[in-house]
Amino acid sequence: MKKDIHPEYAETTITCACGNVIQTRSTGKNMHVNTCSACHPFYTGKAQYVDTAGRVEQFRRRYGQNEN
């Protein structure tokens, strides 16, 4: 590995808009993010999925295609 070409890898604090603080190591300095795993809907189980199951039936009714 070449010497003196790699960025410094140091302790970093990541602060989320919800107030969650994460201590990690990174080449970047202190970071501020909008969402984290503590407040993101996917990770908290509050995600809302768009129901697309009815779209196929609507297409078939509109264009007269039957299920075979």
The per-residue pLDDT for range 47-63, each reduced to its tens digit, is 666 666 677 778 888 88
The pTM assigned to this predicted structure is: 0.54
pLDDT top residue among 8 and 58: 8
pLDDT of 59 reads 81
For 15, list phi and psi in degrees, rounded to 5: -115, 125
Q: 9-18, 35-44, 51-60: which range is least confident on average?
A: 51-60
Domain ranges of the chain: 10-63
Fold of 10-63: Rhinovirus 14, subunit 4 (4.10.80)
Q: 22-26, 27-31, 52-56: which range is least confident on average?
A: 52-56
